[in-house]
Amino acid sequence: MPDERSRAVVQTREFLVELSRDNSLPDRVRRDAKFLLRHFPTRDDVVMAGLIEEHSDTLPIGVLGPVFSPAITK
């Protein structure tokens, strides 16, 4: 479901942030987490993508169904 996918993406970003700041982890793990965060969507990006998909009746982006949802609840 799009809302579950959206929530998982947001929570994964939060997890990567935690990893990148945890000084008890090896440098490589923190460095890799920081690298991934550079390319990972923010919560606002996910919400915006969900809003675009939700209101894009005229665009051909819904062929596979919605990917994200603007409704993200923890």
Structural domain that includes position 56: 2-62
Those residues whose C-beta lies under 8 Å from the C-beta of residue 65, and which sit 6 or more positions away, are 2
**What is the pLDDT, as a whole number, of residue 18?**
98
Instruction: Specify if 43 maps to a domain.
Output: yes
Instruction: Specify if 72 maps to a domain.
Output: no
Number of domains in the chain: 1
Predicted model pTM? 0.74
Q: Which two tokens stand for residue 66?
A: 């919605």
Instruction: Specify if 52 maps to a domain.
Output: yes
Nearest to 31 by CA among 40, 19, 41, 42: 19
**What is the pLDDT, as a whole number, of residue 14?**
97
Whether residue 13 is predicted with pLDDT greater than 70 in this model: the reply is yes
